[in-house]
């Protein structure tokens, strides 16, 4: 299955989601970016927009969603986008995950419970 994820920037920090502690999902109880699977007949950008709307109630501007990397990760195609997060966190509604929080790159590097590949992905950002 292909995946689309979005790195949301606000004031020099990155918004991460603490994944639910549900053994049925990938990387339960770990910090990661928002995103999910790309459905049939859906482009990676469309999937990214849908996932952010489902997970945060946020409608992103398609034109401001920039692809930063497309990689094959354990046999799964991953499309990672980035965009600025304009609303405040209080305006977002967390629909998936147990928590959301803004982190600096340094803070992310010091987290122990992150999804596989997150720190490497963050290191690619300028």
Range of the domain at 86: 3-123
Nearest alpha carbon to residue 99 among 34, 12, 43, 52: 34
Contact (Cβ atoms closer than 8 angstroms) between residue 18 and residue 99: yes
pLDDT attached to residue 67:
95
pLDDT attached to residue 70:
93
- DSSP single-letter state for residue 92: -
- The span from the CA of 17 to the CA of 32, in Å, is 5
Per-residue pLDDT of the chain (126 residues; tens, 9 = 90+): 799 999 999 999 999 999 988 777 677 789 999 999 999 999 999 999 999 999 999 999 999 999 999 988 778 899 999 999 999 999 999 999 999 999 999 999 999 999 988 999 998 886
pLDDT attached to residue 76:
85
The CATH number covering residue 111 comes to: 3.90.79.10
**Number of independent structural domains in the chain:** 1
pLDDT attached to residue 72:
87
Q: What is the DSSP string of 44-84?
A: HHHHHHHHHHHHHS----GGG-EEEEEEEETTEEEEEEEEE
**pTM: predicted TM-score of the whole model, two decimal places:** 0.92
Instruction: Write out the two tokens for 67.
Output: 């692809």
Nearest alpha carbon to residue 120 among 109, 104, 110, 107: 109
């Amino acid at each position: 299955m292909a995946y689309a994820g979005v790195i949301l920037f606000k004031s020099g920090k990155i918004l991460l989601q603490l994944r639910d502690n549900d053994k049925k999902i990938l990387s339960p109880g770990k910090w990661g970016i928002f995103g999910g699977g790309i459905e049939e007949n859906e482009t990676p950008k469309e999937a990214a927009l849908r996932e952010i709307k489902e997970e945060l109630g946020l409608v992103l501007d398609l034109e401001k969603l920039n692809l930063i990397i497309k990689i094959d990760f354990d046999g799964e195609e991953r499309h990672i986008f980035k965009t600025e997060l304009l609303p405040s966190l209080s305006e977002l509604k967390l629909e998936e995950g147990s928590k959301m929080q803004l982190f600096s790159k340094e803070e992310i590097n010091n987290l122990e419970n992150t999804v596989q590949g997150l720190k490497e992905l963050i290191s690619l950002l300028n």
